Every structure is written in C-alpha cells, then in structure tokens.
Amino acid sequence: MSENLKRLTDQGVSIWLDDISRERLRTGDLQSLIRDKHVAGVTSNPTIFASALSKGDAYDPQLRDLAVRGVDVGEAVRAITTFDIRWAADVLRPVFEATGGVDGRVSIEVDPRLANESSERTVAEARALWWLVDRPNVFIKIPATLAGLPAITQALAEGISVNVTLIFSLERYRAVLDAWLTGLEQAKAGGLDLSKIESVASFFVSRFDTEVDKRLEKIGTPEAQELKGKAAVANARLAYAAYEEVMSGPRWQALRAAGARPQRPLWASTGVKNPEYPDTLYVDQLVTSGTVNTMPEKTLDAVADHGNIDGDTVRPHYEQAWNTMAALKQAGIDYDDVVRALEDEGVEKFVTSWNELLGTVAAELKKAS
C-alpha cells in the first residue's frame, strides 16, 4: 500500500474511487484497489456509466438477454447500472462491515432529468433504486438543486441513505445540511434507527476553479491573474467551516444523542483539469478528518506516487480562505453567478450523459436482437 495513501487515511480522509465499470468488476481490479490503494468506497454518475458502456464487451451477455426479453431502453439502463452497483457493493461489503457501516459505500444517481422536477418524482426514483439495489451499503445520489432539497429530506426520513451531489455554493451547502437534519428529525419521529441512515454531501471542487479562472482570465488584471487556481480550495475550506459550525449546534447534538451519524463532507470533482496545476492539488490541500475524497483513478495514482500529505490543510486556513474570497469579489468575480452557472452546467452535463447512455443501450439492444 502506498505510504501517501496510508497517510491520507491516517488523517481521517476516506479514499473513494470515482469510477465503476463491469470490466473493473469482473477482472478483480476494484478488489485490488481496495487491497493495495486503500479504496474504501465507489461513486458513479451518468458520465461514468456512459463511458463504461462504450468500451469493451463486458456488457454484451446482459445486453443480449435484455434484447431477447424485449425490455425498453429505460428498464435496460436501470438493469445494467444496478447490476454493477450491486456487484461493487458486494465487493466492498467487508469494508462496510469493518468500518461499522461508515465506508464500503457505493453510490448510484437518480435520473438526472429529474433534477428540477417535483420532489415527489425524485423520491419515487430514490425508492425504486433503493429497492432495486437492495444492499445496506448503497447511497442514492440526489442533486442539491432547489427541487432536490425536499427530496433529500424525504428520502432520509424514510431511512434511505443519501449522497447529496452537485453542491457548489456555501449557501446551498447550508441548505443541504438543514435538509439532512430535518430528514433525520423526521426519521427519529417515525421511530427509525438513526444509526442505520448514512449520508455524505458531495461538494464539487475542480469545476469551481475552471469557471472562476475563465472569468479571471477575461478580467485580465494582474490582481485577477494572481488569484487563478485559488478559488476552489478556498470555497471547499469554507464549506468545511460551515459544516463544523452546524455540527456544534443543538440540532445535531440532539440527533447525535439519539444515535445519528454525521453527514460527512465529500470532495468531488477532484481531478485537476488545468495541466499547469499540481495533479494532486485537490487532495493535498483538502486534508482534514471526517471527510471523503472521491478520485478518478488517474488522481488516485498521482497521490500514491507523489502526493504531499502533511497534516490538516483545511482548518488552519479559514482566514486565508475568507481573504481569497474577498479578493475574488474585489477583482470582479460574482460568486452567486458563478455557482448558478456551475449548477446549471452540472445538471446539463449529466442529462447529456444520461441521454448518451440511453442512446448507447438502444443501439446495443438493436444490435443484439
């Protein structure tokens, strides 16, 4: 096992893999990553599944069976994706057991086309996925759109473990924390065992720098140029400050006394998109206890090889983070406009990937029939 990855886990950061495929599962690759690289969970999204379906022949036998059965494309996609999630959950079950249900988790997303639909439809989809996968170590991913917040509360209230995804802004993150607390309070009122309800909140990192850097480049002043590559880490650090504030409050203290577990912050989108930046930037600079960092394999390998894991790099830097955000505002960056654009783009990208996935499966079903 890499010493860097061991240091990262020793600091209280859970390492998850932001990827899944039938090929990775059938070759035992995921098991190897658990054993050799301290991977303790898996996240998936529509883009990951669309990519997996487009490569190799691992899905061919199931596609042929689905074609023979004459199922529609939507049912076929759910059959394929939930099969992979169940398999990954079974591979990670020993981690789940060893950590008392904290890690060993696998995430699957509700249909992204529901992101701005009524919460009733999203909750129905969450229930369906919860039943289809039927594993205690699954997370149902629900986007943190305004329409998604009531669905997050309702799903948690029913005992469904939730990975809240597509969080970009500090204001929305606070709303997510409120939705989570409300869901647990309702679950408690309903007599559910709170210790069985887990949740993480996926705060997106690298995309924030991509959007802000583009705007700083357009502004073009020396002060603006100096701020490139600093916004995402500052934003994430302040999210953790908000988390600490909420977790010291009376609502959480009451729930904790009733057996509830924290909703851990999860750093998502941690693959560096700008080649000028260190490829381990969004891991090295976001080390603090009680968090998850889900990484594409390329980032995981980079951290294993040359990550700089040296103590807590979040809590000691709150003042610096606030100063960075103030400087960005002074330079002309409209924070609210940035996060609005990122959320819209995030939903749009996942919908596009979902439609690509539907198209790929439709073509494969036709070929197999």
Active site residues: 141
Q: Which of 26, 104, 29 is nearest to 297 (CA)?
A: 29
State residue 150 phi and psi, 5-degree precision.
-65, -30
C-alpha radius of gyration, the chain, whole number: 20
Q: Which of 351, 328, 319 is nearest to 228 (CA)?
A: 328
**CA distance linking residue 255 with residue 77, whole number of Å:** 38
Q: What is the DSSP string of 95-149?
A: HHHHTTTSSSEEEEEPPGGGTTS-HHHHHHHHHHHHHHH--TTEEEEEE-STTHH
Work out the burial of residue 131: count CB atoms within 10 Å of its CB; fewer than 13 is exposed, 13-18 middle, 19 or more buried: exposed
Sequence letter at residue 365: L
Sequence letter at residue 117: E
Alpha helices in 258-334 (DSSP H): 281-284, 297-306, 318-331
Burial 313-327 (b: 16+ CB within 10 A, else e): bbeebeeebeebbeb
Report in angstroms the alpha-carbon separations of 220 from 88, 207, 217, 223, 226.
46, 20, 5, 8, 10
Q: Which of 38, 143, 141, 43 is nearest to 84 (CA)?
A: 43
